Structures are given as C-alpha cells and as structure tokens.
Amino acid sequence: MPNYQNSIFQCIPIKYRNLLLFLGFTTLWRNDVGVSAYVPVSPKSTSTKTAFQMVSTAIPVPNSMESVYEDDNASTSADFKVGVLMLNLGGPETVDDVEGFLYNLFADPDIIRLPGPLSPLQSVLAYGISKRRSPKSIEAYKSIGGGSPILKYSKDQGDLIEKALKRKYDLSAKCYIGMRYWHPFTDEALDQIIKDEVDALVILPLYPQFSISTSGSSLRVLQEEFAKSKKLRSLQHTVVDKWYDRPGYVYCMANLINKELDAFTSEQLKEGNGKKHVLFSAHGVPKSYIEAGDPYQEQIVECVEKISDQLPDDVEVHLSYQSRVGPIEWLRPYTDDVLPQLGADGVKNLVVVPISFVSEHIETLEEIDIEYRELAEENGVTNWRRCPALNTDAGFIEDMADLVMDALSEPSTSVTEACVRNNCEIEMQPFNERMGISTDMGNSSTKRADAKSMIAAELINARLAMVGVAGTMLLELLNGKSLLRLFGMM
C-alpha cells in the first residue's frame, strides 16, 4: 500500500479512498521531487466528463536544463538523456498500406464513437469503411507518388531539431516519432524510449493547434500506455499541448506567405486589379466537437489573426475549413464553398495556406494542390499559389528547438493534466447526439491493423457480424438513415 502521508489524498474519507483504490482510479508516481495524485472528478463539480482531475502537481522535469549542464560533475550532465517524442497522424508509405491505415483511423473512437452498447462493433465498422474507401484513397495516393511523405518529413524534422539543440544549447537529445495510425506507432516509440533509458521526455504533438481528434487522441493513447507501464509512470516528462501562438512559429508562417505574395507578377496583379488574397484552409472538425468544448476553432482563429498581422495591409484574408466527411455539420465555411465564391467575387490572385499542417501529406498535396486548385480555376481564380507547409524550414526548426528548451525549463505538464486541461474526455460524437444516447467514454484502445495483419472478412466472427447487421438495421429504423451513410463513409 503506498504511503499517502502529506498527500491531499489523505483528505478523502477512508470509505471513498478505498473505493478509489479498488476501482483503480488513482494513479501515483514517485520521483525525487514528490508525489502526483489523481482522483475522480465529482459529476457535480464539472460540466465535462473528465475521468481525472489533477489535485497535486509534482514537477519531475528539472526546473532548468541549464542547471543540469552547469553541474560541476561533467559526467552527470553527459549521462542525462533527453528525449523528444514527436506525435503525428501518420500515413501509408505505399498503396499496400492504405487499407490498414484507414482501418486504424476509423477504429479510433476519437474519430468515430459508437454508443456504449455498440462499441464492440467499432472494429467491424472500421473494417467495412476501410474496405469501401480504400480504392478511392489508393488512387489519391497514387496521384502524389504512391504514398504519404509525412514520415519522411517528420524524421527530417527530428534530425534537424536534434542538431539545432546541440548547436544552440549543447544539448544531446534524441527525437522519437510516434504516429497515431501507422508505423512507427506511439507504443513502438515508447518501447524504444524505455530501452534507451531516457531521463526526461518532452512530448511534442506536431499540431500547432490542439484538437481532441488530433493531439487529444494521441494523448489518450499515451495515458493508456503510461497506465500499463511502471517505467513510463516514473519517467520525468512534460507535454507541449499547443504552440500556435509562438512568435517564432507565427513569423515563419508569415514569412512563407509573404514569399508567395511577392511572387505574383505585375501582369497578374493587373488582371486582379492589384488585389492579393490569402485563404487559410484549416482542417475541419464536426461543429459538435467545438460545442462540447474542443478549443480548436478558437485557436485557429487566433492563429490566423496573429499571422495576418504580419502580412501587408492591402492583402485580404479569408478562413475556411477542409476535409469534412459526411452530411453532419462541420466547421464553416467549407473550403470547397469558399473557392467558388471567391471566383464569383472576381478574385484572381490567391495564395492558399494549409494552416493546420506542418508537413506535406495527402491533404496538402492531393486535396489542396489537385482538387481545390481545379475547383478554383474552374471558377475564375486564374493565378493560384499554394504556400508550402513548414516542413524543414530553417526558422521553424530553430523555433522547435527553442520550444523543447522552453518546455524543459518551465513547470511540467503531465499527460493526464494535458488531457484534463483540454477536455479530452468530453462527449464529442455527433452520432450520439442524433440518436439521443448518452455514452460512456470507455477505452480508446482498439485492435490495430498493419500490412501483415489486416483483418480479413472470413475472420470476423459470424455472431458478431449478425449483431452488427442487426444493430445497423435498428439504427436505420430509428434514424431513417444508413449508419455508414450518416458518416459519409459508404
């Protein structure tokens, strides 16, 4: 039994304390600084369904990395191992990976959450969606070279951040890549971190703005992995949950945009009456996510405002959201609605900026560069330019290195605290609201597919399939729509 002396846990009545221990709702980790305790939130004390609330925060990461390296014992600082876990979406490296990647995506309950009684059917649903959508997705990946470059860019970013940390701060750090939906998966990265005996870990989602469906989903996976591993629970770590408002990041984005604006020729400007337009295209999320507390839209708007402040005064700025799926309402206005309207308004000179992404992948190279460009030109936007993603931009890499050092020198944020702070446990599935069903958040872990072990139709248990069919028929009768068509997946 852990010793809870001098802990806030001691303030909880014994009968409730024992209940918490029995249910396993209390997580403790000990380190040289102190004890962190997490206890359930009373339903009456919060409007969200967070599972835990930080009640006592210990700061396991050193208050200043500088103090470590100023130690008189040179071997101590040399032996201190710093890791940077870079979290990202992931993507299929070849067309053979597409179906498995889609399965993992749609098996994520932070992307599609079924009502509690139907949650066991998540894998069946994901299997059906991935089978149906993979032919179209394969063609899209073929159009950009046969696979996603996101892993290559992430590795390059990590290598350059390591070099920048060494050059600027004499810090020997190692970057690890943890992808959510394809290799290298987050748990694979964590296994390597444990093997390397990392002393302090900075968890850095490669999403400037926080959303439950991106950074939040990865953090929930980390919560589960930390809960299963004593070594991870004792690992000194801190989470950078958002960084859209960093001056360095804002400057780098504005610099890239200004380069594209300057590239318009005098002849092109005559055609467009001298006016230049910038369209920030952010990845969309269902509107219900925002209504439930997801901070994503607010951060996108603030980010666009900060970047726009560094653009010429005569540039007209627009914001839209892309990549929606299905008939439910997502954040508006939609990019594929805005582009025809800009054309109808006489816009000729347009720079499109992918604001949610820091590296090129399918949604920049295919959706924006091919689909949206064609749509814009069909509607009279004759001079189209697309701002590149940050990728390995020198200024961006420098700022990421600075961000890592800032994270190490500031009070730490644990994985659980980051989830609580950003409402990771909120109810956010639009389907639940349509059906009027209250759901339990459950566990976000799902069976994962890879190129060697993709679920085959003949392996699906016949009884489970029958339950799936019956459940789908019932939902169709109740809602008047096909479940899969509701999500726009079939």
Residues sharing a CB contact under 8 Å with residue 135, sequence separation 6 or more, in sequence order: none
248 vs 444: CA distance, rounded Å: 34
Q: What are phi and psi of 311, to 5 degrees?
A: -100, 160
**Lookup: tokens for 232:** 């991870």
The predicted model gives 18-35 an average pLDDT of 33
SS (H, E, C) 23-90: HCCCCEEECCCCEEEEECCCHHHCCCCCCCEEEECCCCCCCCHHHHHCCCCHHHHHHCCEEEEEEECC
**Lookup: tokens for 472:** 């789908």
- Predicted confidence band of residue 201 (pLDDT cuts 50, 70, 90): very high
Alpha helices in 266-410 (DSSP H): 266-271, 287-291, 296-308, 335-344, 362, 373-378, 394-409
**What pLDDT digit, counting tens, does each position of 441-484 carry?**
344 555 677 644 544 433 343 344 444 444 543 444 344 443 34
Amino acid residing at 39: V
Q: How far is CA 283 from CA 375, 414, 453, in A?
A: 18, 27, 30
Give percent of the chain above pLDDT 70.
Answer: 71
Going by their DSSP bridges, the two strands 315-322 and 28-30 should be labelled as unpaired
388 cis-preceded (ω within 30 degrees of 0): no
- Predicted confidence band of residue 426 (pLDDT cuts 50, 70, 90): low
Going by their DSSP bridges, the two strands 173-179 and 315-322 should be labelled as unpaired
Amino acid residing at 337: D
Residue among 133, 214, 103, 213 nearest 488 (CA): 133
Q: Would you give the DSSP letter of residue 8?
A: G
Residue among 444, 69, 4 nearest 222 (CA): 444
**How do the domains of the chain map onto residue ranges?**
8-56, 95-147+425-486, 248-393
Greater confidence (58 vs 366) lies with 366
**What pLDDT digit, counting tens, does each position of 247-290 carry?**
999 999 999 999 999 999 999 999 988 899 999 999 999 999 99
Q: Would you give the DSSP letter of residue 201?
A: E
**What pLDDT digit, counting tens, does each position of 164-185 carry?**
999 999 999 999 999 999 999 9
Beta strands in 191-303 (DSSP E): 200-205, 236-239, 276-283
Q: How far is CA 101 from CA 22, 54, 138, 431, 436, in A?
A: 37, 34, 11, 23, 31
- Predicted confidence band of residue 114 (pLDDT cuts 50, 70, 90): confident
Strand partners, 281: 320, 354
Give percent of the chain above pLDDT 90.
Answer: 64
Torsion 65-66-67-71 (CA) sign:
positive
Q: Is 248-393 CATH 3.20.20.70? A: no
333 cis-preceded (ω within 30 degrees of 0): yes
**Lookup: tokens for 414:** 């644990």
445 vs 453: CA distance, rounded Å: 17
Which of 22-26, 102-106, 116-120 has the largest mean confidence?
A: 102-106
- pTM of model > 0.85: no
58 vs 68: CA distance, rounded Å: 18
